[in-house]
Structure 1
């Protein structure tokens, strides 16, 4: 890839990091892959979840973002949302089928290790 192409892809990742949903969805609807990942394996969905952008998370989910995509550290978008203690994004990801036991650094383990009891309750079925 050229430096220009790499810069463009990084700018798309930045849209997810900064929650610029309208700009991101415009590019996705024009053909940018919804499961684009950073060199560290962070997907657009993971970046939006980690940086607490629920509208961006919902837009990515509506376009088929893979909730089970794992980054180089074994984390999913749900792990990121649990770590950030974000009930709205956790709820949206669970509704989209995200697995509380997915990845090697699972959302359930993250809630337990960091003492995020409210997150742990959200991850249990029927809660």
Structure 2
């Protein structure tokens, strides 16, 4: 609840005060506060606030403490309009967090098929791996995201890639006892 109130306060400040403050000579916000507002705006899908901040010189590819960019936060939280806005402004759709997780991996984790399909149009490496050697296909298989598995395979995802523990997408689905996913991956193999 405490975090929720902080986010609401930041969004309120950003929506009503920040547009004037960033243009004023004597800014009333610290760089840390502006940074927090920037990432909260991305997380909340507030393209209007992002517009003000980017027009005032905010770094499109800035990262928060976890390494997330505004693009990754908007995608992870399902804000398609904000993803489109940031794409049009030139955001790097292929960026990853400090652990190598991409927006595509986030869509697999969250189960957002619509966002996953959109992200597959960005030209990013469909076989990108995180620090654990996992791909978006592995995450989709692990969490039983059948539609995303089909989308990823259609874009050339490699089911033979092994993560740091030696698992493939099929192996992860087997560990979950997801026989339907195992059959789906094996069927697509042939």
CA 1:99–1:22: 2 relative to 1, 3 Å: same
Instruction: Give the alignment of 1:95-114 within 5 angstroms.
Output: 95-104=121-130, 105-114=134-143
User: Mind listing any 5+ residue stretches in structure 2 that lack a counterpart?
Assistant: 1-28, 157-190
Larger RCO (alpha carbons 8 Å, 6+ apart): 1
Aligned residues: 125
Instruction: State the Cα RMSD in Å.
Output: 1.9
Offset at residue 120 of structure 1 (A): 0.9
* Larger Rg computed on CA atoms: 2
Establish whether residue 46 from structure 1 lines up as the match of residue 72 from structure 2: yes
Question: Given the alignment, which residue of 7, 14, 26 partners 2:40?
Answer: 14
Task: Summarize deviations over 1:57-97 as a string: whole Å, max 9, x none.
Answer: 11111111112212122200111112112122222221121
Task: Summarize deviations over 1:2-45 as a string: whole Å, max 9, x none.
Answer: x8111110110000001111211232233212211111101111
Match of 1:123 in 2: 152
> Residues of 1 paired with 2:129 and 2:113: CA distance?
19
- Whether the aligned pair in 2 keeps the contact of 1:68 and 1:103 (CA below 8 Å) is no
Output the TM-score relative to the length of structure 1. Answer: 0.87
Output the TM-score relative to the length of structure 2. Answer: 0.60
| Paired residue secondary structure (2:150) | helix
